[in-house]
Structure 1
Amino acid sequence: QSTVKSIFGDQSKDKSTLGQGIAELTPHHDVGTYFKSLNRFETRSPLRECQWEFILDSTGKIVYEKAYDKNGKLVWGLVYSPPLEGQSARQAHYVGPDGFPRPQLNSTAEFAEFTYSPQGDESEVRYLDRESQPQLGLGKVFGKRLTFDARGLVTESTFLDSQGQPMNNEVGVATTRYSYNEFGNIIEEAYFDVAGKPTLSSKEGFHKSTTQYDERGNPTEETYFDAAGKPTLHKEGIHKLTLQYDAHGNLTEVAVFDTAGKPTLNKHGYHKITTQYDVSGNITEEAVFDVAGKPILNNNGFH
C-alpha cells in the first residue's frame, strides 16, 4: 500500500512554506462529495474538510479516501470496492468519522459507481442502491458524465438519467462548462439545458459566473450574467460580491454590489459583513453594515 495526500491551501510566493508554496490550510473551496454539493461561499467553518488522504493498493488504485478538517480530524471516508481485472468500473460507499457506513442526506442512493477513461479520469459517475439499480443522487439525477482537459481538470459535466442520457437536474441545468486560470482555479462557470442552449439555474438565477483570485488563490470577486451575457442578479439580489482575507486565509469581509457596480443590500438586509477570528481560526465576532458603511440590523434583528 501507499499513501498520497492532497490539501487546499493559500497560494504563496514563499516556496519554502510547507515545501509547495502553501501558506495556510483553508476550508474556502467548492469541493463537495459525490452525494453533497458545496459552494465555496456557503461555509467558513474550520471543521470543513480541506485535506485528503488517498490509500493506494500495490497497483496504484485507490482503495480508501479520507477527508480531514483544518485541525487534522476525520470528516468522512470513502471506501472503494476492489478493482476487477478487465473492468473499468468500481463502486464506493461513505463512512463517517467513526469509520462506520453513513447514509448521505437528500439521496436514495447508497453507492457511487465510477467509470474511468484510459487516462484514469472518472469519466462517468452513477448513483445506485444495494441492488445496483439506478437511484436519484446529487441534484436529483442518476449520474453525470465528465470531460477533462490535458491537466486533468473538468471542463464539462453533464447530468444523466437512468438510461445514461442527458437530463436537466432539479434546477434546470443539464451541462456545466468550466474555464480555469493557470493555477487551476475556476474563472468561469456556465450552465446549459438538455438541448445545449444557455440556461439559468432556477436556484441561483444566473447563466454564468466569473471569479477572480488573489495571489494566494483566494477568490476575491464573483460576478453573475444572464443567458445573453449581460450583468444580472443572483437570487441573493446581488450582481457582484467581493471578498477579503486576513494573513491566515480567514475570510474577513464580504460586500455585495448591483449591476451598476454600486453598493447594494442582499436579501438578508445588509451590504457588508465582517468577521473576526481567534488564534485557532474560530469565529469570534460578526457584524453587518449598510451601503454607507454604517452598522445595520439584518433581517434577524442583529448587527
Structure 2
Amino acid sequence: MRFLLLFLMLFSLHARSDVYRTAYFAEFPFWESPIQPYKFATPLTKDDALKRIHIEVGYDKQNRVVDIQTRQGTKFKTLGHFFDAMYVHAVHTQIRYQDQREIHEFYNQSGNQVTGWGQVWQKIYHKDHRGRYLKMEFLDRTGKPVENSWGVAYYRWQHQFDGSVIEERFSQTGELKVHRPGFEFQRIRLVYDSEGHLRLMQNLDAALKLLASKSGASQYAYFYNAEGLFSHWEIYDDKGLPAIGPSNTAGEIQENLPGGAKKISFFDKAGGPAMHWSGSAQMEIKNDVYGNIIEFSLYDSEKKPINGNSKYAKIVYVWDKQGLSLTSQSFVDQAGAPTLHPDGYSQIRYFYDAGGFLTELHFLDLAGQPVMSQNDKAAVIRFDYDQKGQRTGINKFGTDGKKL
C-alpha cells in the first residue's frame, strides 16, 4: 500500500509540468465552446502587463499551457464581467497532462485549491490517440461526478471528416442541455478556420440535419478583425436566410473604441437597427486605465440613453484606488439620475477582508439606506470562508440587521 501511494505521488508530480516560459496577454477573446479550453489575445510585454489587468500564461517544455493566472500588476485579479471569464473559473488555473487526460484545477489568491463553475473541483478532458478532445466531465471534491452551474455534467464531442465538430452537453440524468444559458441550440456543429476562430455554429437534430430552434434561428456566423478579436455575428435559418435569434436580433456588431471601450450595435434581418432583449439598440462599455469596467450604458438607435427592460440606462462601477476590488455598483436612468434596479435597490456596496476575499454585500435604496433585494431576499449578505479561502457559508440579514 505504501509503495502504491508513493507511486501515485510521484506520478502526480511528474504529470504536473513545470513552467518553462511565460507569456502575457491583455484579454481573453470571446469563444463559444470549451473544446477550446483557453484562448488569449493582445500580447503584452511583461513591463506593460504589470501596469494593467492581464493574463499570465505558463507553458511547459512541450509548449503546452500548464498555468493560467489573472492578475493586475503583481496581484491576483478576479474577473467575472461579461464574456471575459466564461470558461475561466478562478484567478489561478493549473493544468496537468496524464496520458489521454487533461486535468484542470482551480486555485484562489491564497494558493489553495477551490471549486469553480459551481461545485466543480476538477475539469477533466479526455482525448483520443490523436490528441483530440472527446469528452469533458466535472468532478466534485470527493471525486464524484457533478453538474456545473449551467446544469451540465459532461460535454461530448464527435470529430467529422470535414473538420467540423459535433458538440452535445448532458445533465447527470442524460438530458441534452443548451450550449449556453439563455440560448436555444442544443446539439451543435462547430466549424473553425485555420487560425482557430469559430466561423459557423449550427443547430442539429439527431440525424445531424439543420434544425430550426424555437426562435427560428439555425445558424450563427462569426467574424473577426485583423487582431483576431470578435467583430460581429449574423443569424440565419435552416435555409441560409437572415433570421431572428432569442436575443430578438439578427446579429450584432462589436467595435473596439479608444481607451479599451467597446460599442455593441444590434441589427434586424434587413441590416437596420434592432432592439435587443435588453431593451436597447446599442450598448457601450467603458474601462479605466487598468482595464476595469467603469460604465455599462444602454442607448437607442440614435445613441440616446434609454431605460432598458430592467428600467435603468447605465450601471456605474467604482473600484478601490488600486483598481483591484469592486466597491460599488450603481444604477442610473436615461436622465442621468439614480434609479432602482427591478429587485428594489439603487446601489450595491462590496466589502472585503485583508486577503481580498469578498465578505459582505449591502443593498441600498435611493436615500442610501438598507433595502431588501427582492431576488436575494436580504439587505445584507455575509460570506464565510474556511482557512484555505473556500467559501463555506452565506448569511442573510434584513434592514434591521437581524439574521434571516
Match of 1:270 in 2: 312
Q: What's the offset of the Cα at 1:227?
A: 0.7
Match of 1:39 in 2: none
Match of 1:136 in 2: 176
Match of 1:283 in 2: 326
1:27 partnered with 2:69: no
Q: Which amino acid is 1:137 matched to?
A: K
Contact map agreement 1:252 1:275 (CA 8 A) in 2: yes
Give 2:280's match in structure 1, choosing from 229, 238, 251.
238
Classify the secondary structure of the residue corresponding to 2:249: coil
Identity of aligned pairs, percent?
17
Give 2:255's match in structure 1, choosing from 202, 212, 229.
212
Q: Cα–Cα, structure 1 residues 239 and 15, in superposed 2: closer, same or farther, change >3 Å?
A: same
Match of 2:339 in 1: 296
Q: Cα–Cα, structure 1 residues 21 and 262, in superposed 2: closer, same or farther, change >3 Å?
A: same
Q: Cα–Cα, structure 1 residues 49 and 172, in superposed 2: closer, same or farther, change >3 Å?
A: farther
1:64 partnered with 2:93: no
Structure 1 stretches (4+) deviating beyond 6 angstroms? 4-8, 18-22, 69-72, 86-89
Match of 1:16 in 2: 46
Q: Distance in 2 between matches of 1:229 and 1:71?
A: 49
Q: What's the offset of the Cα at 1:158?
A: 1.0
| Cα deviations by residue, 1:44-74 (Å, 9 ceiling, x for unpaired) | xxx954665443346xx55223456788755
When the two structures are superposed, what TM-score results if normalisation uses the length of structure 2?
0.58
Contact map agreement 1:142 1:162 (CA 8 A) in 2: no
| Cα deviations by residue, 1:217-272 (Å, 9 ceiling, x for unpaired) | x5511110001100111112111111111233221111111012212111222222
Match of 2:66 in 1: none
Give 2:96's match in structure 1, choosing from 50, 55, 61.
55
Q: Distance in 2 between matches of 1:214 and 1:151?
A: 24
1:151 partnered with 2:181: no
Q: What's the offset of the Cα at 1:163?
A: 2.3
Match of 1:192 in 2: 236
Q: Which amino acid is 2:103 matched to?
A: Y
1:80 partnered with 2:125: yes
Q: What's the offset of the Cα at 1:177?
A: 0.9
Q: Cα–Cα, structure 1 residues 239 and 130, in superposed 2: closer, same or farther, change >3 Å?
A: closer
Structure showing greater Rg: 2
Match of 1:44 in 2: none
How many positions carry a matched residue from both structures? 281
Classify the secondary structure of the residue corresponding to 1:259: coil
Q: What's the offset of the Cα at 1:150?
A: 1.6
Classify the secondary structure of the residue corresponding to 2:284: strand
Q: Cα–Cα, structure 1 residues 129 and 257, in superposed 2: closer, same or farther, change >3 Å?
A: closer
Q: Cα–Cα, structure 1 residues 277 and 88, in superposed 2: closer, same or farther, change >3 Å?
A: closer
RMSD: 3.9
Contact map agreement 2:147 2:172 (CA 8 A) in 1: no
| Cα deviations by residue, 1:157-191 (Å, 9 ceiling, x for unpaired) | 11222222222345442211111123322110111
Match of 2:394 in 1: none
Give 1:223's match in structure 2, choosing from 244, 248, 265.
265
Q: Which runs of 5+ in 2 are unaligned?
A: 1-14, 28-40, 55-69, 71-78, 347-365, 367-404
Relative contact order (alpha carbons < 8 A, sep ≥ 6): 1 or 2 greater?
A: 1
Q: What's the offset of the Cα at 1:274?
A: 0.7
Q: Cα–Cα, structure 1 residues 289 and 141, in superposed 2: closer, same or farther, change >3 Å?
A: closer
Once the two structures are overlaid, the 10-residue window that deviates more, 282-291 or 176-185, is 282-291
Q: Distance in 1 between matches of 2:239 and 2:271?
A: 18
Q: Cα–Cα, structure 1 residues 235 and 66, in superposed 2: closer, same or farther, change >3 Å?
A: same
Q: Distance in 2 between matches of 1:262 and 1:191?
A: 26
